[in-house]
Amino acid sequence: MKKKYSLEEIDAIAQKVIQESRYKIVLFYGAMGAGKTTLIKSICKHLQSEDVISSPTFSLVNEYRTTSDELIYHFDFYRIDDEEEALDIGIEDYFGSDTWCLVEWPENIENLLPLESVKINLAYADDGKRSIQLIQP
């Protein structure tokens, strides 16, 4: 999937990401302000989480629950100094679970990322919209 979208279309994009993802580990790439957290909020909403969704910039991971008591993990590795910090929080256990793992700034833990994951590239487009590209192995 490669598409341009406006913020008004974010819910439709989130649904499409959920439907088309082969894996529950989703890696969000894009510049600061490109819409990673906004898209993750919408994905969580469509996965039926009623929790307040916010970027875990300092805690590295937030845990959300769906209305059916399933877990969603939201990671933000923007401020990570080295991959050892991700190992310290048990990233391998998170990735090994059959749980949605939504990862912002995955390039900062590149050597720890599972091959069976979905990559989403977000970028600003010239017309004020965002572009999104979903890449699956």
Q: Where are the chain's structural domains?
A: 2-135
What per-residue confidence (pLDDT) applies to 2? 66
Tell me: the pLDDT tens digits for 26-65? 999 999 989 999 999 999 999 999 999 998 888 899 999 9
Mean pLDDT of 73-91: 95
**What whole-number percentage of the chain has pLDDT above 90?**
77
Q: Is the pTM of this model over 0.85?
A: yes
Average pLDDT, whole number, for the chain?
92
2-135 placed in CATH 3.40.220.10: no
- Taking phi over 0 as left and psi of -120 to 50 as alpha, with beta for the rest, 116 belongs to beta
**CA nearest 71: which of 49, 46, 95?**
49
DSSP 8-state secondary structure symbol assigned to residue 49: B
